[in-house]
Amino acid sequence: MIRTLQDHEESALPAGRADLLLAAAGPDTPTPGPLTLSVEALTPFATLKILDLGLVSAPERYETVTFGIAPGGAFDAKTLFEKGREFGRYYKPAGDYVILGESVSPDAADAAALLKPLPGMGLFEQLGRTADGFLMFAAGFMLEACRRFPVVLGGGSRMAAALLIANRVVRRDGLPMDPRKLTLCTVGGIAETERAATLSLLGQLDFRPRALYVDLPSHEGEPYAGATVAYGIMQGLTVAQITSRAGSGA
C-alpha cells in the first residue's frame, strides 16, 4: 500500500503509465534492480532509459541518454544543473509522467550540510564543494520538468536534497516552478534516521511536495524501488506479486 511519509495515510501516484529514467555515473554498468525488473516484466513502464552522467561503459540492453559528461571528470555544479534543466525543458515523456531514480547511490552524505552558508561563497560555488553530479542534475531536471508533466522522485533524503537545491535556485533567481506536480516516493521500513533526515529537508522547502512510501521486505541496491513498486501497485499489482517474481529471478 502507498502511504504518506508524514502521517501514514493512504495515498497514490499519478494515474497512467510512467517513463522510468535511471541516472548513473562511474565504473559500474547500471541495470535496474530485481524489484524494478519484476515490475517491468509484469506491467511495463512506458519507457525505461539510463541517463549517462559519466559512465565508463553504458548498458547495451537499455536505451541510454548521454550528456557529454566524462567519467571522473572535474565536477562543475552549475554545468550539471544546467544540463538537467535543459533535459527537463525538452524531454517528451512516452507516458503520462516520469519517475526519476538514481541507479547507484553513493554512501549517505550529510545532505543537511549542502546549503549551510559558507562565508564568501556564492550558491553554485558552495554546491561545487558540497553536492555531487546527480544532485545537481536532478535539481535542474525537476525544476523544469514539473512545469510540463508530473515527476515522481524515487528515493529519500537525496531526492529531498535535490528538491532543496532546486528551491534555493528558484528563490534566488525567481524562476518558475510548479511543485504541485512533484512527488517523492521512498521505501517504508527505512532507518528512522533516514526518515527524519528526509522530513527535515522537506521541511526547509518553500512548498510541500507529496512524500510517500511503500513497505518492502528487500530493496538492496534500489534506492528508487519505492517509486517503481508504487507504480506497479497503481497498475494493479500487489507487493507480493512483485517480490515473488523478483525473488524467483524470472
* Span 101-149, pLDDT tens digits: 998 765 545 666 788 888 889 999 999 999 999 999 999 999 999 999 9
User: Residue 14 and residue 17: Cα distance in Å, rounded?
Assistant: 9
* pLDDT of res. 192: 79
* Span 180-235, pLDDT tens digits: 999 999 998 887 778 898 999 999 999 989 999 999 887 777 889 999 999 999 99
* pLDDT of res. 105: 63
- The rounded mean pLDDT for the chain is 92
CATH number of 2-248: 3.40.50.10210
User: Residue 72: is its pLDDT beyond 90?
Assistant: no
In this prediction, residue 87 has a pLDDT band, given cuts at 50, 70 and 90, of: very high
Q: How many C-beta atoms lie closer than 10 Å to residue 8's C-beta?
A: 11
* pLDDT of res. 110: 64
Question: Residue for cell digits 503509465?
Answer: 17
* Cell numbers that stand for 60 in this block: 547495451
Q: How many residues belong to the chain?
A: 250
* Cell numbers that stand for 163 in this block: 528538491
Domain map (residue ranges) of the chain: 2-248
Percent pLDDT > 70 in the chain is 96
* Sheet-wide strand order for 18-26: 2-4, 210-215, 182-188, 151-154, 97-102, 18-26, 47-55, 63-66
* Cell numbers that stand for 240 in this block: 507480493
Residues 139 and 84: beta-carbon distance below 8 Å: yes
User: Could you report how far apart the first and last alpha carbons of the chain are, in Å?
Assistant: 24
In this prediction, residue 83 has a pLDDT band, given cuts at 50, 70 and 90, of: very high
Q: What letter represents residue 150's amino acid? A: P
> What is the model's pTM?
0.95
Residues 46 and 40: beta-carbon distance below 8 Å: no
Q: Helix, strand or coil for residue 27?
A: coil
* Cell numbers that stand for 50 in this block: 539510463
Nearest to 131, CA basis, from 206, 72, 71, 76: 76
Residues 228 and 36: beta-carbon distance below 8 Å: yes
